[in-house]
Amino acid sequence: MMNKTACPRVSYDFTGRLLPPVYILVFIVGLVANGWGLKSLQHNWKKLKIINVFVLNLGLTDVLYLLTLPFWVVYYLMGSKWIFGETLCKITRFCFNVNLYGSIGFLTCISVYRYLAIVHPVRTMGRITVTHSVMISVIVWLLVSVQSLPDMFFTKAPRNNTGKCFDTTGNVHVENYLKYSLGWTLTGFCIPFLITLGCYGHVAVVLWTLKRTDKVLKQRSLKLVLIMILLFSVCYIPYHVFRNFNLLARVLLKQGICRKWYSGVYIARRISRALVCLNSALKPLVYLHAHEDVPAQLRQQLQQVRQMLKRLFPSNSGCLPVAHTADADAEANTS
């Protein structure tokens, strides 16, 4: 056991330099990408399919979180000083948690639906309807809200009124928060992650071994598997691992136990917060491979943009006088 004073000091300055640019980038890219995705869903609302209900809810969780990012940009640009009151602090943290675990929940729903549609198409044909997917979505929202609600009862601002807004809680209740966080990680992340991993693992094997499977469906589903692996590996796994390790370090430090890995865990924890934020910018990739009509719409819209650019900037390569082109060639040869 070491004295508290022997613990290495952790520099908090890099957080203010790291997070604001990430938040601004995610806010812009996320709003544009999710806005476009939700608009495409609205355009095809009459032929709404089962999986598109989950994609719609996935987009709504992102929009809910993206609208809170300007507050956090101001917070870190002001030197980690929260000026909007503790109530709004708790609300924005709640929106982040609903986005995070709602995203994981709806990604799990998409994986289960893909599994049933590809591995057991005969058994599930006609048995799962849009009404069922709507009911499942409501249940996911309720479960995520119930899981995230206890977080709002933990103190988010220190008693000495330093203007902080904790993403977990202060040191007074950190032991209880660690227990809550471990349970939260198990039910909100580990179990859905194992379900998703099992579903897509089985789907990948089936698609790889069955030659009669439609080639387009095979490519789309395999790409969706890679996107899920990317999301979980980059955004979700590091965040949960380092959140709990950081809480454990705080509990040990409160008990007077000091370890050299504390500062490293803190830095990794801050980086993982930037990475988990990226999920709102990366998840629109799911639109391209989960929503049946979006890829065709995207190609059509890109074609329209190319045609518009051609009208605005017509090519003049065939309209130059011969003397002008000869002069230009001579100039190019001498340069």
d(CA 58, CA 136): 13
- Domain extent for 243: 8-302
In a domain, 317, yes or no: no
CATH of the domain at 153: 1.20.1070.10
Task: Say if CB 41 and CB 55 are below 8 A apart.
Answer: yes
Q: Which amino acid is at 243?
A: R
Q: Which of 160, 159, 157 is nearest to 168 (CA)?
A: 157
Does residue 67 form part of some domain?
Answer: yes
Total number of domains constituting the chain? 1
Distance CA 93, CA 172 (A): 19
- 243 in a domain, yes or no? yes
**203 and 118 in contact (C-beta within 8 Å)?**
yes
Q: Look at residue 3 and tell me if it is in a domain.
A: no
Q: Tokens 């966080």 sit at which residue?
A: 181
Looking at the domain assignment, is residue 316 inside a domain? no
Domain-embedded: residue 310: no
Distance CA(155)–CA(171), nearest Å, equals 10
Q: What gap in Å lies between CA 201 and CA 267, rounded to an integer?
A: 33
Q: Rounded to whole angstroms, how far apart are CA atoms 306 and 82?
A: 45
CA distance 271 to 273: 5
Q: What's the confidence (pLDDT) of residue 17?
A: 81
Residue 27 lies in a domain: yes
Q: Are 140 and 74 in contact, with CB atoms under 8 Å apart?
A: no
DSSP 240-274: HHHHHHHHHHHHHHHTT---THHHHHHHHHHHHHH
pLDDT at residue 177, rounded to an integer: 96
Dihedral of CA 59/305/44/115: which sign? Answer: negative
Alpha-carbon span 273 to 96, nearest angstrom: 11
CB 277 within 8 A of CB 23: yes
Alpha-carbon distances, residue 98 vs 36, 47, 146 (angstroms)? 22, 28, 10
Q: Is 146 exposed, middle or buried (0-12, 13-18, 19+ CB in 10 A)?
A: exposed
Burial environment of residue 269 by CB neighbours within 10 A (0 to 12, 13 to 18, 19 or more): buried
Give first-to-last CA distance, the chain, whole Å: 73
pLDDT, residue 200, reads 86
Give the pLDDT of the chain (335 residues) as one tens digit per residue: 444 445 766 666 677 788 899 999 999 998 888 888 777 766 666 666 778 888 889 889 998 899 999 999 999 888 888 999 889 999 999 999 999 999 999 999 988 988 888 888 877 777 788 888 999 999 999 999 999 999 999 988 876 666 888 889 988 899 999 999 999 999 999 999 999 999 988 888 887 777 656 676 677 777 777 888 888 989 999 999 999 999 999 999 888 888 888 888 988 998 999 999 988 888 877 766 655 444 454 455 445 555 666 666 665 544 444 444 334 343 333 33
Supply 203's token pair.
């789907």
Q: Using CA atoms, how far apart are residues 73 and 110, in angstroms rounded to an integer?
A: 32
Q: How many CB atoms lie within 10 A of CB 311?
A: 8
CA distance 159 to 46: 53
Contact 253, 233 (CB under 8 A): no
Residue 320 within a domain: no
